[in-house]
Structure 1
Amino acid sequence: MANKTYAPPQEPPPGYNASDTSYGPPPPYHNWQEAVPDTSILPPPPIGGNYNSNTGNASTDDAKRAHEFCDRNVLYRPAHPSAVVYSTVQRHDIGPVPAAEFRGSISKHQEQWRGSTRDRNGDCTLLTNLPLYFALADSPFVTERSKTVYFEVKLLALRTGPTHEDSSGLSIGFVAQPYPAWRSPGWERGSLGVFSDDGCRFVNDSWGGKDFTAAFQVGETVGLGMTFQLPGDINAVGSLRGAQRLDVCVFFTRNGQHVGGWDLHEEVDEEAGGVYGLEGDFDLYAAVGLFGGLDFEVCYDPKGWLFRPQS
C-alpha cells in the first residue's frame, strides 16, 4: 500500500515531536521562483507529492503508532563494526530478519532468499540482520572513496482481491534503525523506498510519495542502490568537513538495467519529511516492505544480481 492515510489530510503532514533534539527541523523550503524572478531558463518545478494512493492505503492508526514510536526512539548512534562483523557484510553473508508482523515463510536458495506471505498480511518490513552501510567504516569522509550499497528483489506472484483491503505488493528500500516494523520503508524518518503497486518513491514521507516509475510486473527483478561520495568542493580553501554533507545518489534498476534515480537532496521542501538519517551519518539496512499475499525473492549477493553496480 503506497501510502498511509485513508483520506487526504486537511493540513500539512505532521512532524515528529518537536522536543526531540536528536535531529533538527526539516530544511527550509527554497522558493526559487521568488529568489530568481526570471524563470524562463529554469527547469520545470519539482514533482509534487501525493496525499494518498489509488491502489491501497494503510490505516491512520498504524501511522500514528509509528510516529509515536519514532518520537520515543531516536536513531541508533553508529558504532564501529568489529572485523568479524564487517567481513561478514563484505562477504554478503547476510539475510532478512522477519518482523513480528510477518506472516509467511522465508528461506535461502543459493544466492536468493525466497519468501511468501499469507493473503491479507498487514504491512511489515524485512530488514537485514546487519547494515549494508556502516557510517564509521564506509563513509567517504573516512575512506576518501565512494561507497555504493545495492540489492535486488524479484516479484514472483501476487494474490489480490477486488478491494483496496485485498491489495498486495512490496517495496524496496533502505532504513536507519530503529524502525517501526509494521511500516514499509520510506514512510517514516530515516528511510526511503520504491513501491510495486504504483511505482511511487517515498523518502521520510508519511503521505502519498512522489510519482517515480511504473508499477512492478510479476516476474520482474528490481534493484535499489545508494552511492555516497565526497562533495565536489571537499578540497576548497577553508572548507570544513564537519560542516559539509556527502553527495548521495539513489538509483533504481529493472531486470538488470538502470532506469532511474534521484539526488537525495533534491526536492526537499515543506511537503516532505527531509532526508534525516539517509545522508551517510547513520548505519543503513536493506529493507523490503510487504503487504497482502505475494511470493518474492531477495538477493543481497552480487553473484545473483542482474545489475552490476560500480563499487
Structure 2
Amino acid sequence: MHYFEVTVKKMSNQVNTIAIGLSTTPYPYFRLPGYHENSVAYHSDDGRKFHNDSDGGVTYGPTWGKGDTIGCGYRPKNGVVFFTKNGEDLDVAFRVLQHTWYPSIGTDGSCELEVNFGDSDFKFKRARGYGPGSPLLSEHHRSFVALI
C-alpha cells in the first residue's frame, strides 16, 4: 500500500475546492485532480469522487475543509484507491486502476496545507509505516507545508 495525508491549515475566502488524489504524468497544472484523464480525487466542496470526470463526479463522502486531514491510499496489487477523513476510512473509492500514480493536490484558491508522506504519525493508523515512495518507511518522517 502507498499512502499520504493532507491537513488543511488555512483557507482563503476564494477557495471553493481542494482536490486530493492521484494522477499520472504529464498532468496539466490548470486542472484539478480527478478532472483530467488518468486521475482520481476526492473534492472538499461536495465530498464527491472524480475519475477522469469534470462533469460532476459521484457521491462518496462528507465535505471537508480547514482543520481536516484527508488521506489517500493506493493498493497496487488490486488497483484499489481509498480515502480517509481525520483517520477514519471512507471505504474504497475506485477499483482496478492500474497506473503509475503520483500524489496530486489541487485547489482553485490560496490555502495552506501540510502534506505528510509518512510514517509514524498518520491519523489513519493502519497506514503507519506506508508512504507513496516505498512499501514500508519505518524511520523517516516526511512532511512539508505547501502554500498554494
Which TM-score tier does this pair reach, normalised by the shorter chain?
A: 0.7 to 0.9
Equivalent residue runs for 1:264-303 within 5 Å:
264-265=95-96, 278-280=97-99, 283-303=100-120
| 1:287 alignment partner AA | S
1:22-57 CA-partner distances (Å, limit 9, x unpaired): xxxxxxxxxxxxxxxxxxxxxxxxxxxxxxxxxxxx
How far does residue 189 in structure 1 lie from its aligned partner after superposition?
A: 0.8
The answer on whether the counterparts of 1:173 and 1:192 sit within 8 Å (CA) in structure 2 is yes
Q: Helix, strand or coil: the match of 2:120?
A: helix
* Alignment partner of 1:219 is 2:67: yes
Equivalent residue runs for 1:94-173 within 5 Å:
148-160=1-13, 166-173=14-21
Identity %: 32
Corresponding residue to 1:248 among 69, 72, 79 = 79
Corresponding residue to 1:178 among 15, 21, 26 = 26
The answer on whether the counterparts of 2:15 and 2:111 sit within 8 Å (CA) in structure 1 is no
Give the direction of change, closer, same or farther, for the CA distance of 1:213–1:179 in structure 2 (3 Å limit).
Answer: same
How far does residue 206 in structure 1 lie from its aligned partner after superposition?
A: 2.4
Find the structure with the greater CA-based Rg: 1
| 1:279 alignment partner AA | Q
Bigger helix share? 1
The answer on whether the counterparts of 1:224 and 1:253 sit within 8 Å (CA) in structure 2 is yes
Bigger strand share? 2
Greater shift, 199-208 or 294-303, is seen at 294-303
| 1:153 alignment partner AA | V
**TM-score, normalising length: structure 2:** 0.78
Structure 2 stretches of 5 or more lacking a match? 136-148
Q: CA RMSD in A?
A: 1.8
Structure 1 stretches of 5 or more lacking a match? 1-147, 161-165, 230-246, 266-277
Q: How many equivalent pairs are there?
A: 128
Distance in 1 between the 2:64 and 2:104 partners?
17
Q: Helix, strand or coil: the match of 1:183?
A: coil
Distance in 1 between the 2:65 and 2:19 partners?
13
How far does residue 226 in structure 1 lie from its aligned partner after superposition?
A: 1.1
Give the corresponding residue for 1:304: 121
| 1:156 alignment partner AA | K
